[in-house]
Amino acid sequence: MRNWSRAGCIHDPPVGGPGQLVNATLGTGFVALGLAASTTGTLSIAHGLLTRNQRLVRLSRYFVIVLAVAAVGQFAVMERALITRDFTVAFVAENGSHKTPALFNVATLWSALEGSILLWVLVLVGYVVAVVRRFRDSLADPMVAWALLVLFAVCTFFFLLLAGPAFPFAGFQPWAGFDGPGPNPLLQNHVLMAFHPPVLYLGYVGFTVPFAFAIGALVTGRMGEGWLVSTRRWTLLAWGALTLGIMLGAWWSYEVLGWGGYWAWDPVENASFLPWLTGTAFLHSVMVQERRGMLRVWNLSLLSATFSLTILGTFITRSGVLDSVHAFTESGIGPMLLAFFALVVATTVGLIAWRGDEITRGGEIESPVSRTGAFLANNLLLGSFAFVVLLGTVFPLLIEAADGSRISVGNPYFERMTMPIGFALLFLMAVAPALPWGRAGGELLSKRLVWPASAGAVSMVVAVVIGSRGWAPTMAVGLAGFAVAGAVRQLLLAVRARGLRGLTGRSSGGMVVHIGVAVVAVAFACSSSFLRQAEFSFDEVGDTASIAGHTLVFNGIESVALAEKSEVRVSVLVDGELQMPAISTFPFGGQTIGTPATRSTIWDDVQLAVLSVPDGSGSTIIRVTVQPLVWWLWFGGGVMALGTVLAAVPGRGSRSSTTAETAEYTTRQQAPA
């Protein structure tokens, strides 16, 4: 909330009348329409399931049309209000400005609490529409109907947020000459702000779909693998979008904040990383269930945990319980989110306990030295990783809630606790693809692993020769080389068997993702281990400085006035290339932030951040950060995104089902309930 009242200023005459409140009125109507449609749809499906009235369940196809109209309508109205600078809408008055550039004016919608919920609802309803479209011929199937009930119930909750504590269409009476402050300067200083949140939401919200089908499977007792097959690509899409969203967020942080890093174990960063960890574990263990009929409790628990963690992450981000560059201001939304989180956890735990005897049946691990055993170990490690991150994230909140004390858990905790887990995961990622699903013999393993292991050893030697010092980055390079070689071996075998078509499908796509993960691991380890940072003072044009083999030449200062801000730019030659970091001042309240400049190559990055400029006389102080291999972080993220796409494309000869129960499920979908 800014420093004015939503009711306007009593000392200045308001401008505009009721006719100018059209956006607020329309938006309010769409919120009410969405709440009515989601609530009525939830009740209709529930009544249809209880009375076995298929007609009531099939009405969901009409309710979802109304939901779509409401979600798109309220989103479009708010964008229209922002684009036209309609300050009679309080959200626009608090976050919009005539000085905000067009792209960031559109992105202003998700830069603040109420607008972010609008985007969340739009994405959620989009998924519900896609589900109804995909299963339009089997809406009366009990499992699908229960999944729809869960989806509609989640929609109802978020529309309740919009109608209550996150209401975005409150009215405001602007006075003559009024102009809003615009979004937080940090949120209008880089183009990635326009893309990072929507992509992240595609992942966050996307896990609602497999969660809903998991609840449907628990309620109906269909504990086989059919629901996994039906939601496989939905889960993959959500995971891939969340992966890309996290990488874009790290890139944005690196380019905008100017502290020389891209990941700080910030609680809000962790809030998105936690469901990624449990979602990754689920994608691996689901393969064990499909092939061996095992880990059913584990998979249901992982999927429920992933959805629950998205709600917990939303609470952490939007409740105002912590201070973070990523977090929104304090609001009344927190108690509702926390209550919803508790309801989700209680419901899923209760259902799993209720079906305990049925879902614990399954096969056994023939040998720990098998792909099944490796996947189980992988899941235990990912679960441990998630627990460590969760503990470090929520512990300060628990302490503050208990006695009011404010503490922080810093990077040393996360780095020391997660490093050994990360190394173990890299090792398993290298070994698991070479293991058979059944018992593995020593001769078979030596044949399959000799080349990848040799590649890992060579990688370590090369790393030491070119300057790697310290056991952690050197080991990361060796294990990553081991993992990449193992993945390449699998891809070559697939291409030899099926041609280029062998690069598609879940198995080959997963190998491409593994390559991306290995590249990111090496870049993360090396860039953080070999970071060099120093501050330099420049007094006159031509002053020079050196750091990590790079030469800097001070080339002067210039002031630039733009429509939305004014900048003091510092001209510096980095190895002969012109870079212009700046200090930017935004008009509202004279907010000043740094705008770093980065010279990026495949070998290293040199980032310049202006700390101070002379006011008449004095020195220009610049912080210079040199990090190796940062470029490979973004490249590795792109490889992971490519692997996700390849995994979503069916491979030739892929089985549509893995057990007899899957076929039974398909038959039951086509038959009337």
d(CA 641, CA 636): 9
Report how far apart the first and last C-alpha atoms of the chain are (Å, whole number): 52
**Residue stretches of the chain with pLDDT short of 70:** 1-20, 225, 319-331, 360-366, 440-441, 589-590, 651-673
Q: How many domains does the chain have?
A: 4
For 629, phi then psi, to 5°, come to: 65, 20
Q: What is the dihedral of CA 418, 421, 427, 431, to 10 degrees?
A: -140
Residue 178 shares a structural domain with residue 294: no
CB of 122 closer than 8 Å to CB of 71: yes
656 in a domain, yes or no? Answer: no
Q: Based on the fold, state whether residues 164 and 36 are members of the same structural domain.
A: yes
Question: What backbone torsions phi and psi does residue 410 show, to the nearest 5 degrees?
Answer: -95, -175
pLDDT at 407: 76
pLDDT of residue 124: 97
**Cα radius of gyration rounded to whole Å, the chain:** 27
**pLDDT confidence of residue 16:** 44
Amino acid in the structure at residue 131: V
What pLDDT is stored for residue 348 in this prediction? 93
Q: Kindly state whether residues 391 and 467 are assigned to the same domain.
A: no
Domain identity same for 563 and 475: no
Name the one residue in this structure whose structure tokens are 């099944």: 372
Cα distance between residue 312 and residue 397, in whole Å: 12
pLDDT value of residue 341: 93
- Please tell me whether residues 273 and 379 are part of one structural domain: yes
Three-class SS of 377-397: HHHHHHHHHHHHHHHHHHHHH
For the full predicted model, state whether its pTM sits above 0.85. Answer: yes
CATH number at residue 42: 1.20.120
Which neighbouring-strand residues pair with 545? 552
Helix (H) or strand (E) holding 407: none
Which uninterrupted H or E stretch holds 410? none
Structure tokens at 341: 């989180």
Beta bridge partners of 626: 532, 606
Q: Do residues 372 and 488 share a domain?
A: no
Indicate whether 216 belongs to any domain. no
Which of 305, 311, 313 is CA-nearest to residue 154?
A: 311
Is 537 found in the same domain as 525? no
Last residue in a domain, options 382, 408, 430? 430
Which of 161, 183, 205 corresponds to the end of one domain?
183
Q: How far apart are CA 424 and CA 379, in angstroms?
A: 11
Within 8 A by CB and 6+ apart from 412, the residues are none
DSSP bridge pairs for 546: 551
Residue located via tokens 């370590």? 460
Asked if residue 611 and residue 597 are part of one domain, the reply reads yes
Q: Which residues contact 279 (CB under 8 A, 6 or more apart)?
A: 207, 235, 238, 239, 242, 302, 306
SS3 165: coil
Report d(CA 258, CA 251) in Å as an integer.
11
Q: Work out whether the CA dihedral 501, 506, 509, 514 comes out positive or negative.
A: negative
Residues with Cβ within 8 Å of 17's Cβ and at least 6 positions away in sequence, in order, are: none
CA distance 436 to 441: 9
Return the closest-CA partner of residue 582 out of 108, 194, 190. Answer: 190
pLDDT at 447: 83
Query: In 3D, which of 154, 211, 215 has the Cα closest to residue 351?
Result: 215
Same domain, 335 and 373: yes
Q: Are residues 174 and 244 in the same domain?
A: no
DSSP conformation class of 530: T
Question: Do the domain assignments include residue 668?
Answer: no
Percent of the chain, pLDDT > 90? 56
Question: Looking at residue 454, what is its pLDDT?
Answer: 93
* pLDDT at residue 154, rounded to an integer: 97
188 located within any domain: no
Tokens encoding 324: 């973070």
Phi, psi of 574 (to 5 degrees): -110, 105
∠ CA 394-400-402 to the nearest 5 degrees? 100
Question: What's the DSSP call for residue 326?
Answer: S
Comparing CA positions, the residue from 549, 533, 548, 526 lying closest to residue 469 is 526
What is the reported pLDDT for 371? 84
The answer as to whether 654 is a domain residue is no
Length of the chain: 673
The reply to whether 420 falls in a domain is yes
CA 57 to chain centre: 33
Residues 246, 200 contacting (CB under 8 angstroms): yes
Domain annotation covers residue 653? no
Amino acid 195: pLDDT: 92
3-state secondary structure 82-103: HHCCCCCEHHHHHHCCCCCCHH
Phi first, then psi, for residue 101 (nearest 5°) are: -60, 155
Residue 232 lies in a domain: yes
> Do residue 44 and residue 173 come from a single domain?
yes
- 513 and 391 in one domain? no
Domain interval for residue 18:
1-183
Interhelix angle 442-465/411-431, rounded to 10 degrees, is: 130
CB 24 within 8 A of CB 88: yes
Strands (E), 539-603: 544-547, 550-561, 566-574, 577-579, 582-586, 591-595, 597-600
